[in-house]
Amino acid sequence: MKVGMLWLALAITILCFVGDSQSQSKKLKIYISADMEGVVGVVTDAQLGPSGFEYQRSREFMTEEVKAAVEAAFEAGATEVMVSDSHGNGQNLLIEKLPRNITLVRAFPRPLMMMQGIDETFDGVIFLGYHTGTTNPQGVRAHTMSSASLADVRLNGASMSEAGVNAAIAGHFNVPVVMISGDDAIVKETTALLGNIEGAVVKWAYGFHSARTLMPEAAYELIRQKVKQAIGRIKDIKPYKLRTPVQLDVRFKNYRPSEVLSYLPIVERTDAHSIRFVGKDMIEVSKFLEFIMTYSPSLEPLVSTQVCKPFACNNGFPALIAGSPLKSTSVMN
């Protein structure tokens, strides 16, 4: 009897040890998508591209926000972090100043756009420096994907910000968005769409090009706090999943893109400025969006000082978009 009890105690001890080891070795992967319009202090294109007199300083602010989020994620238990440089040309973050134990996605185009690298192995997504969508009258630099050419982007009939589109891409892989930072308008817009996720308000929008802002160090500390709170609640936050197939409606500010895209048999022209594409899932929709915003028969390596994504600046516009009467050269994503 005593021998049996000893064996039982030994077995329980071994099972507890194995359980503890498995729990300690469990991976927690976090994906961070970082834009720039919602970064602390950023209010105009003077901070958003190389031609702006404050761009280099704003790159520092953006990098420090990402660094704060990464460090907080690891402190909260993350075992792996991937960061996407998702603004402009995707080459804004000062990589030598980022923690050495992350990986970084840079430059465009990408099949999954601002979410390249996400897959089902991740546990949570964080959006940093985001801004409101193009149909929202509130928010600093409000637009969806391209303020130069797009007037609306809808998924299954609902107008979307970039946060909404990107949350749906993450949701395809069953990964929830757990936290967002930016101005008060994007936090309000995104929590209304995704539910009670964590939000770090680093500035309060007065208009498209004006805001009341925190100081950088205060913003970094707020982001650290919100990241830790978000990871602490990660199991309680659900992915944002769309019913499939996914209907994408895109409204251009000019009519020629919709006219020419309607030549494709997979595209329906729904009015003078709008097209519709139905994808089997968000992966197809993402690839289609990147295609219509990037493709040109003259695609070739370019030497350029522009910070814009290929679809966001008039110089280097895809031939389709360049056919519009738009002449602005200062519009960023």
The whole-angstrom separation of Cα 325 and Cα 155 is 27
Could you tell me which of 138, 139, 150 has the C-alpha nearest to residue 37?
139
DSSP classification of residue 329: -
Identity at 91, one-letter amino acid code: Q
Count of beta carbons in the 10 Å neighbourhood of residue 196: 9
For the chain, how long is the longest CA-to-CA vector?
91
CA angle 274, 246, 90 (to 5 degrees): 75
Work out the angle between the directed axes of helices 282-294 and 162-172 (0-180°, nearest 10).
140
User: Among the options 143, 172, 209, 273, which is catalytic?
Assistant: 143
273 is catalytic: no
Buried/exposed 3-25: b ≥16 CB within 10 Å, e otherwise: eeeeeeeeeeeeeeeeeeeeeee
**Listing from the earlier edge strand, what are the strands of the sheet with 124-130?**
103-105, 80-85, 29-34, 124-130, 177-183, 198-207, 210-213
Burial category of 164 from C-beta neighbours within 10 Å (exposed 0-12, middle 13-18, buried 19 and up):
buried
Q: Are 38 and 61 in contact (CB under 8 A)?
A: no
Could you tell me which of 2, 194, 34 has the C-alpha nearest to residue 102?
34
Burial category of 303 from C-beta neighbours within 10 Å (exposed 0-12, middle 13-18, buried 19 and up):
exposed
The catalytic site residues sit at: 143
